[in-house]
């Protein structure tokens, strides 16, 4: 059994975001993010403490996913179970959505049965439609424009590795999907300088409205945000390299036009790439990571990698959100 940290009393759980809906991470301010991260850290460091084991007893969480998941699904299921609640997992193709029922009508029906909703849906409009047609707390478990619950876990992992968040230089590399867009929105709020290291074809697919929002927030916060289409240049001065899936067809089976232009060897994180960053740089990957494509074995299994800790933190970010949001 893991050794727990001691000396910190169980925190009082804030009602600041109780009953809220979170279709994307940009709806959280700095104070709310820090409260979520702080509670997640307490849950992580006191994982066998039973103070809140019945906090959500009798509550039911529905997880509606349009495509498969390992970390996000299990993280939510484990988090809810640790708080005393129960889970119902729904594969979209096995529901009436698979026969043409609208997202809105599905949301209206589910609203009668559950206490909180977690959705991995095709589009951002889909999760917004759920929010409009459901009164219960809603969490986004990944759309093309957001993966807020996972990114909060990644922030926890970065803070655990570096001891802080503010003032760090973070490099993201991978697809221009939900995680990237969540980082664009959240890094300025939390005080992180963000560089998006992406192939040119991916850079063209970054949502312009989200990018404009992130740039405006960075200007207001006094942080930096940039896009770089050369990985070795991007990681210079990096404190942390956060990677995501590089080739979508390896993840979802569908080939995007943009990935055809990607020269994979130029975007694989290697020891040579790490050597261009700060000596104490850390590397992680949100998963699933395709070895030899996203990164080499030497990087993924090396001393600078914190991939297992990132996976652990992702559970406790979800646990914090559920504890703070569910009525």
Q: Rounded distance, CA 262 to CA 249, Å? A: 12
Does position 7 have pLDDT exceeding 70, yes or no? no
Q: pLDDT category, 150, cuts 50, 70, 90? A: very high
- Residue 185 shares a structural domain with residue 41: no
- Residue 127 shares a structural domain with residue 182: no
Tell me how many domains the chain contains: 2
User: Which DSSP helix (H) or strand (E) runs through 129?
Assistant: helix 124-132
- Residue 174 shares a structural domain with residue 265: yes
Does position 6 have pLDDT exceeding 80, yes or no? no
Helix (H, G, I), strand (E, B) or coil at 146: strand
- Residue 285 shares a structural domain with residue 169: yes
Cβ contacts of 313 within 8 Å, gap of 6 or more: 40, 44, 153, 154, 156, 157, 160
- Residue 67 shares a structural domain with residue 164: no
Q: pLDDT category, 248, cuts 50, 70, 90? A: confident
Does position 25 have pLDDT exceeding 50, yes or no? yes
- For the segment 104-131, the average pLDDT, to the nearest whole number, is 98
**Segments forming the whole domain that contains residue 176:** 151-311
pLDDT at 254: 73
Q: pLDDT category, 256, cuts 50, 70, 90? A: confident
pLDDT at 79: 98
Question: Does some domain include residue 4?
Answer: no
Q: Could you tell me the strand order of the sheet in which 282-285 lies? A: 225-228, 193-197, 169-173, 240-243, 282-285
pLDDT at 5: 67
Q: Which CATH number goes with the domain that contains 201?
A: 3.40.50.1370
Question: Does some domain include residue 13?
Answer: no
Does position 178 have pLDDT exceeding 90, yes or no? yes
Q: Which single residue is written with the structure tokens 């991978």?
A: 174
User: Which DSSP helix (H) or strand (E) runs through 227?
Assistant: strand 225-228
Q: Are 235 and 196 in contact (CB under 8 A)?
A: no
Q: What are the tens digits of pLDDT across the range 183-236?
A: 999 999 999 999 999 999 999 999 999 999 999 999 999 999 999 999 999 999
- pTM (two decimals): 0.95
CA–centroid distance for 63 within its chain: 16
Phi-psi group of 164: left, alpha or beta (phi > 0 → left; psi -120 to 50 → alpha; rest → beta): beta
Would you state the torsion angle of the CA atoms of residues 282, 151, 319, 191, taken in this order, to the nearest 10 degrees?
Answer: 80
Q: pLDDT category, 1, cuts 50, 70, 90? A: very low
Question: Does some domain include residue 97?
Answer: yes
Does position 160 have pLDDT exceeding 60, yes or no? yes
- Residue 189 shares a structural domain with residue 264: yes
Q: Percentage of residues in the chain with pLDDT exceeding 90?
A: 92
Q: Rounded distance, CA 317 to CA 75, Å? A: 9
Does position 240 have pLDDT exceeding 60, yes or no? yes
- For the segment 35-53, the average pLDDT, to the nearest whole number, is 97
Q: Rounded distance, CA 95 to CA 121, Å? A: 13
């Amino acid at each position: 059994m893991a050794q727990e940290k001691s000396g910190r009393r169980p925190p009082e759980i804030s009602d600041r975001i109780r009953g809220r809906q979170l279709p994307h991470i940009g709806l959280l301010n700095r104070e709310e993010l820090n409260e979520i991260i702080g509670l997640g850290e307490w849950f992580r460091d006191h994982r066998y403490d039973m103070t809140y084991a019945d906090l959500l007893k009798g509550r039911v969480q529905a997880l509606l996913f349009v495509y498969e998941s390992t970390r996000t699904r299990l993280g939510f299921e484990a988090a809810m179970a640790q708080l005393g609640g129960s889970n119902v997992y729904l594969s979209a193709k096995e529901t009436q959505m698979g026969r043409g029922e609208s997202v809105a009508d599905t949301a209206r029906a589910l609203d009668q049965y559950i206490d909180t909703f977690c959705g991995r849906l095709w589009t951002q409009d889909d999760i917004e439609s759920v929010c409009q047609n459901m009164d219960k707390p809603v969490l986004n478990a990944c759309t093309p424009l957001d993966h807020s619950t996972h990114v909060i876990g990644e922030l926890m992992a970065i803070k655990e590795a570096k001891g802080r968040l503010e003032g760090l230089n973070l490099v993201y590399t991978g697809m221009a999907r939900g995680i990237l867009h969540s980082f664009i929105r959240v890094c300025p709020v939390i005080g992180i300088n963000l560089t998006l290291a992406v192939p040119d074809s991916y850079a063209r697919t970054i949502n312009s409205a989200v990018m404009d929002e992130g740039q405006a927030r960075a200007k207001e916060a006094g942080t930096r945000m940039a896009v770089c289409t050369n990985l070795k240049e991007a990681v210079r001065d990096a404190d942390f390299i956060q990677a995501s899936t590089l080739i979508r067809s390896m993840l979802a089976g569908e080939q995007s036009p943009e990935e055809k232009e990607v020269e994979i060897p130029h975007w694989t994180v290697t020891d040579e790439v790490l050597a261009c960053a700060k000596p104490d740089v850390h590397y992680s990957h949100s998963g699933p990571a395709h070895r030899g494509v996203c990164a080499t074995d030497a990087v993924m299994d090396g001393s600078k990698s914190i991939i297992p800790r990132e996976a652990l933190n992702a559970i406790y970010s979800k646990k914090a959100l559920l504890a703070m949001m569910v009525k």
